[in-house]
Structure 1
Amino acid sequence: MVFDYIVVGGGSSGCVMASRLSAYGARVLLIEAGPDTPPNAIPDDIQDGDPTRAYLNPGYRCQSLHATTVRGGRKPVHYEQARVMGGGSSINAQVANRGGPGDYDEWASSGATGWGWEDVLPYFRRLECDLDFGGEFHGTNGPLPIKRVRQSDWSGFIRAISDAYDALGLHFRPDFNGAFGDGYSVVPLTNRNGHRVSSAMAYLPETVRSRRNLTILSETTVARLTFLGTTVTGVETENKSGVQSYSASCVILCAGALHSPAILMRSGIGPAKELVQFGIPIVADLKGVGQNLQEHPTICVSAYLKPADRLSPGVSEYIQMHARYSSGYEGCPSTDMAISTVAKSSWHPLGRRLGTLAVWVNRSYSTGTVALKGSSHKI
């Protein structure tokens, strides 16, 4: 089976790639390791405006990923990663925050031509249909709807936090995806009428799936790339039907910061010193594959709320306020920190009684490594 493009990974980027490439008549194969979410059978927990139901469903996440720290001698802990069509956009908090303009400009100045803020802004506008704002920062014709939590729906807990921010000099910004800077705001969501809109829903509707030149394989794992010499010719996959190979003129890895380097390394592209110990034939000795992994360290603090301070019945948006602020730490840029304020902490009865502050580092500097446990994708 020969294609023009094979897109590996049906996450947030893979759905876009499959949709856009197939729109121009190319023969496209999209491969996703997790279950599909076709328009006529989207699971209720994925559609729910409360993302904790999907996020806590183990059927939508990888179960074999673990992380360890170099310092402290801690035991390995489970590393959470989506494994479902739409990827993280199908199970995450539905929050549509953009990255910091300075980060994009830094990438461009380091050699990533075309990734400066002014370069990527047109694509942010193109992907969205903002239901609240227009102007230079927003699009109104894209496939992904963006709506915001209303201040009138804020719980007593959220209003109290906003008062505390004002007292500290951190003030309200109506549009969190407008001019970038410190402040707090209502939360922009990829949501329509109280229901999630994932990348799969936005970019793989029935009109796209009906294209004869688009083939979608779900619950199928890409074991490795195939080669003719050092040229990639396709992929080797495995599912409940067995092992199958597919060929293409171009293979696009959209398997994320963890699985994309893992696939490369299982295929013999990566640091040779690490791969030979697993008996993997070396195709290209590239020491950078799997290196410089960055993540946002987060701390969550929860508190029991009095009934008057809890989320009102009928309000589904539980992440109700975001804030950005500057750490002031030497060497860090401004607006390098973020806080989400959550009006309820989970779907269950106890979660409805808890409010949470989730604080994380928006501009992280620590790096890690993606490493294989062996040559097989089953490990």
Structure 2
Amino acid sequence: GGGSSGCVMANRLSANGSHVLLIEAGPDFPPHAIPDDILDGNPTRAYYNQRYQWPSLSAAIARNSNRREHYEQARVIGGGSSINAQVANRGGPADYDEWASIGATGWDWEGVLPYFCRLECDLDFTDHFHGNEGPLPISRADMGEWSGFARAVSTAFEDGDMPYRPDFNGEFRDGHSVVPLTNRNRRRVSAAMAYLPESVRARSNLRILSETTVVQLTSSGHQITGVVTDSKTGRQFYSASTVVLCAGAIHSPALLLRSGIGPADQLSKLGIQVVADINGVGKNLQEHAGVAISAYLKPKDRMLPTATGYIQMHARYSSGHEGCPPTDMAISVLAKSAWHPVGKRLGTLNFWVNRVYSTGTVSLNSSSHLAEPEVNFDMLSDERDAERLKSAFRFVARLINHKALVNTALDPFPSTWTGRAKRIGKYNRLNYG
């Protein structure tokens, strides 16, 4: 896969002299031919472009729900970093320390911090929390560009013991801040742009194969020997001494399952020859459960057309729920909720459970690579997530009724990412009108 991690792997491995084949199911865009919607500092255009998504991927979102919805999963060079919100928030230190405590040696916060520093070229900070020589630029949506809505929310945060913190990737405490972005001069810098520039693509030992789907991994005994691919030119086999699987949280387990690596009983029912009976493949899928409250903004309180980024402010706070770590909840403040005229008039407080405990599954209904896997996130199946999200809704409802916001955020209402909202969000002339 040529997503965020695949681009990094292709760069680093080819730099060591290895012969590398990077296989991406979606289109590849070299530096001189990156589409304008991907480059745009406002990510909603690229995010809504179905050319960059797996078209038929759907998922069951919440627990006890039989309804399946289209799930936006990137299928383009750079992966999610080519279509997402460009937000460069790091994970919480407590999460990494927990990984190390259960056996992931070297993945504690102090162990991963040098790698965060190595990957970035932070344009605002030069302390030990940040790097200044990496390939990925990190800039921030300046406080001076905040809309009237964002300034009012900031006042409400201050009154709610969530103070302003200049560096959101340094101090991991409750508070709010400007948003760090993978962005330079108001233009996106994806993992593909950062790690696969012309100089890297010119390496004779690196080949990028785009619009090509990996059908399955091939094996001899318990040794992976290569991959079988499918594209417009037909099936092809590539042998390799090492195969690195970077197909994301959904398609990585799906590919393992199609290749006979996973729970033997499930594979046998689909007629897939079992290579390795590993029960954990396709288990423990996680996603952040979140909802939002939107409101109409007066023209003077809306986002300026010249402002940097899309999300103007982030906040994190501690739920205080028993057994949950600090800074386990998050809020994004959007002074423009979508690219179209309606979205430009709406401000949104988008909030979610940042440290989730609910887990879902990825499974197969068919052995064919043409059939998307069955994805069940099973959000809110853990009561800790459900209770914290309910508390978060009450917290944000109180926030939007703060005296600083009552004359700024007008007629607030719950807003969700429904099928109708997705249809309105598609980038076309009809929706703009």
TM-score w.r.t. length of structure 1 = 0.96
Give the Cα–Cα distance (whole angstroms) in 1 for the partners of residues 177 and 63 of structure 2: 37
Report the counterpart of residue 150 of structure 2 in structure 1: 158
Are positions 1:104 and 2:89 aligned together? Answer: no
Contact residue 85 and residue 310 of structure 2 kept, 8 A: no
Q: After TM superposition, list the pairs within 5 Å mapping 1:177-326 onto structure 2.
A: 177-326=169-318
Give the Cα–Cα distance (whole angstroms) in 1 for the partners of residues 50 and 317 of structure 2: 34
Paired residue type of 2:59: A
Q: After TM superposition, list the pairs within 5 Å mapping 1:1-379 onto structure 2.
A: 9-68=1-60, 71-379=63-371
Give the Cα–Cα distance (whole angstroms) in 2 for the partners of residues 13 and 79 of structure 1: 20
Give the Cα–Cα distance (whole angstroms) in 1 for the partners of residues 310 and 250 of structure 2: 29
Paired residue type of 1:251: V
Paired residue type of 2:173: G
Give the Cα–Cα distance (whole angstroms) in 1 for the partners of residues 292 and 300 of structure 2: 22
Paired residue type of 1:139: G
Contact residue 4 and residue 191 of structure 2 kept, 8 A: yes
Q: CA deviation at 1:240?
A: 0.5
Moved more, 315-324 or 68-77: 68-77
| Secondary structure in structure 2 of the residue aligned to 1:375 | coil
Paired residue type of 1:211: R
Q: CA deviation at 1:73?
A: 3.8
Aligned length: 371
Q: CA deviation at 1:298?
A: 1.4
Give the Cα–Cα distance (whole angstroms) in 2 for the partners of residues 27 and 70 of structure 1: 43
Contact residue 218 and residue 224 of structure 2 kept, 8 A: yes
Query: C-alpha offsets along residues 70-116 of structure 1, whole Å, 9 cap, x if unaligned?
Result: 74343111222111000000000000000000100100010011111
Contact residue 266 and residue 280 of structure 1 kept, 8 A: yes
Give the Cα–Cα distance (whole angstroms) in 1 for the partners of residues 272 and 293 of structure 2: 44
Give the Cα–Cα distance (whole angstroms) in 2 for the partners of residues 303 and 25 of structure 1: 54
State percent identity of aligned pairs.
68
Contact residue 311 and residue 318 of structure 1 kept, 8 A: no
Paired residue type of 2:319: S
Q: CA deviation at 1:294?
A: 0.9
Q: CA deviation at 1:167?
A: 1.0
Give the Cα–Cα distance (whole angstroms) in 1 for the partners of residues 65 and 226 of structure 2: 41
Q: 1:310 to 1:69 in 2, by over 3 A?
A: closer
Give the Cα–Cα distance (whole angstroms) in 2 for the partners of residues 89 and 26 of structure 1: 25
Report the counterpart of residue 3 of structure 1 in structure 2: none
Q: CA deviation at 1:340?
A: 0.4
| Secondary structure in structure 1 of the residue aligned to 2:349 | strand
Output the aligned Cα RMSD. 1.0
Give every structure 1 segment of 4 or more consecutive aligned residues whose post-TM-superposition deviation is greater than 4 Å. Answer: none
Paired residue type of 1:308: K
Query: C-alpha offsets along residues 120-154 of structure 1, whole Å, 9 cap, x if unaligned?
Result: 00000000000000111000000000000111100
Gaps of 5+ in 1: 1-8
| Secondary structure in structure 2 of the residue aligned to 1:351 | helix
Contact residue 182 and residue 189 of structure 2 kept, 8 A: yes
Q: CA deviation at 1:69?
A: 5.2
